[in-house]
Amino acid sequence: MWLAIDTSTKWSLLALRDGGQVKERRFEPRATQRVIFAELANLLDPDILQDLDGIVVGIGPGSFTGVKIGVIAAKTLAWSREIPIIGAGSLDVIAAGMNPPDDPAVKLAVAVPSTRGEAYVRLYESKDGKWQETGPIMDISLSSDRLEDQFPEDTLLVSGESAELLTEALSGKRQVTPADEKFWFPTAKGLFELVDGRIQDGDFDDALTLVPQYIRPSQPERLEKEGRR
């Protein structure tokens, strides 16, 4: 039995997969330490906890505090139970939870909020019936005068928590359509599909060294780097 955790967006996700059966739980508000551990306690009764084989956790980017709390919860549980852990990029998880359209020319952009008016964005193309990333995660301003230069001229499908904002920003500049809102957030399907190969290969992360994928440094980290700690 594997546990999945993703707290990178406003809809936090917990899921259990036992064989082919998946039990998924979403909850608001954004994850806090008290909320995430309470939800885990409700999901993991002693019998389930005893049968837990491993954990997959979304490592962001996304909500700075949310990602941190989810990763800490996953690492703590993996370390205390001495079970494997795998980290998965949350934008890739969103993409993996979506089936590409029949038209292979359509590209996908997954966008989630970073700071006000900005977003983390990654681009994908259809390959062998799945979305494959085509470049690194971008940290962009949605109000940039040349925003469209960072996107292909192909038809663009947009997903993620900032899908509506990015669609609006690109309107009239690119042929862009928002995905169905049910695909804007990480899913159990996306998490497990992304890591199943690693589970089969025994390619696990180290619970002590796994870290969130923040993309940009936190305010304390920036101040320390600037010598203003």
C-beta separation of 87 from 73 below 8 A: no
User: With 80 as the cut, is the pLDDT of residue 227 above it?
Assistant: no
**Quick one: pLDDT at residue 105?**
92
Q: What is the pLDDT of residues 4-56, one digit of tens each?
A: 999 999 899 999 999 889 999 888 755 567 788 888 888 888 888 899 999 99
Q: At 17, which amino acid appears?
A: R
Per the confidence metrics, is the pTM higher than 0.85? yes
**CA end-to-end span of the chain:** 44
Q: Over pLDDT 90: what percentage of the chain?
A: 76
Domains of the chain: residue spans and CATH: 2-91+185-225 (3.30.420.40), 99-178 (3.30.420.40)
Digit-coded pLDDT (tens) for 82-92: 999 999 999 99
- Whole-number pLDDT of residue 217: 65
Q: What is the pLDDT of residue 185?
A: 96
Average pLDDT of the chain, as a whole number: 91
Q: Which residue has the higher pLDDT, 44 or 2?
A: 2
What is the predicted pLDDT for the residue at 108?
98
Number of residues in the chain: 229
Burial of 208 (0-12, 13-18, 19+ CB in 10 A): exposed
The pLDDT of residue 116 is above 90: no
214, pLDDT greater than 70: yes
Cα separations in angstroms, 87 against 95, 118, 207, 211: 15, 25, 10, 8
pLDDT digits (tens, 9 = 90+) for 134-158: 999 999 999 999 999 999 998 999 9
Residue 139, pLDDT score: 95
pLDDT tier at 220, thresholds 50, 70, 90: low
Tell me how far CA of residue 116 lies from CA of 139, 140, 216, 222, in angstroms. 12, 11, 14, 18
CA distances, 62 to each of 5, 12, 46, 90, 225 (Å): 14, 11, 31, 8, 22
pLDDT at 31: 54
How open is the CA angle 93-96-100, to the nearest 5 degrees?
A: 145
